[in-house]
């Protein structure tokens, strides 16, 4: 688990169907370990015209840096990454945000009956990662966690996500 700290300021950012609930900002030194429960707001406005499935409640979640694997040999730089998580009510696990993702792993997590999937952006030089997991208590909700910023632009724009992504970028820049 990580520490989730939600920033209320983002709670009001809503775009037509999707909403950001909270944004986690963490620094890498991780001093804040206030991890409560993740913001599980569900507001599903029950639309059905989203690109993703049909729902749309999204909530924002966390950000934190993770000390990466020093690899086997160069272990010195603890990369502080920004994580941005949000929950979405959707039937589909992988939301099409306009980027191309390559799945590189899947793990079962202890608290969830559903596995978590790990994706990486396939654009060369772009190390953005994201992980997707479904809430065990509410299998209609998927939690998507983005890590890092894209170094390129979106290939195929997604109306809904474009807004979310912008929000994320703003948070990143303001956080830095």
Partner DNA sequence: CGTATTTGACCAGCGC
Partner DNA sequence: GCGCTGGTCAAATACG
Which residues in this chain contact DNA in the complex, by CB under 7 A? 1-2, 66-72, 75, 100-111, 116, 118, 122, 129, 131
Give least dist CB 15 to DNA, A: 26
Query: What is the DSSP secondary-structure string of the chain?
Result: -------GGGGG-EETTEE--------TT--------------------SSSTT---EEE-----------SS---------EEEEEEE-SSSS---SS-EEEEEEEE-TT-SSEEEEEEE-STT---EEEEEE-SS-TTEEEEEEES--SS--SS--HHHHHHHHHHHHHHHHH-
Q: Which is nearer to DNA, 68 or 166 (CB)?
A: 68
Q: Which is nearer to DNA, 53 or 115 (CB)?
A: 115
Q: Which is nearer to DNA, 17 or 98 (CB)?
A: 98
Q: Which is nearer to DNA, 16 or 105 (CB)?
A: 105
Give least dist CB 147 to DNA, A: 7
> Which residue, 87, 72, 91, is CA-closest to 38?
87
Give least dist CB 19 to DNA, A: 24
Give least dist CB 21 to DNA, A: 20
Q: Which is nearer to DNA, 14 or 141 (CB)?
A: 141
Give least dist CB 150 to DNA, A: 16
């Amino acid at each position: 688990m990580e520490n989730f700290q939600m920033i209320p300021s983002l709670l009001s950012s809503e775009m037509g169907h999707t909403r950001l609930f909270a944004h986690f900002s963490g620094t890498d030194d991780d001093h804040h370990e206030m991890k409560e429960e993740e913001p599980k707001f569900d507001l599903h406005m029950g639309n059905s015209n989203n690109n993703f499935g049909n729902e749309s409640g999204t909530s924002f979640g966390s950000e934190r840096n993770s000390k990466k694997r020093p690899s086997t040999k160069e272990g010195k730089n603890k990369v502080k990454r920004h994580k941005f998580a949000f929950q979405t009510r959707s039937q589909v696990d992988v939301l099409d945000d306009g980027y191309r993702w390559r799945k590189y792993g899947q793990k079962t997590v202890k608290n969830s009956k559903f596995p978590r999937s790990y994706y990486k952006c396939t654009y060369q030089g772009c190390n953005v990662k994201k992980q997707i997991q479904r809430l065990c208590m509410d299998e209609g909700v998927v939690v998507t966690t983005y890590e890092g910023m894209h170094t390129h632009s979106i290939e195929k724009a997604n109306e809904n996500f474009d807004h979310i992504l912008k929000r994320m970028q703003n948070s990143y820049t303001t956080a830095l």
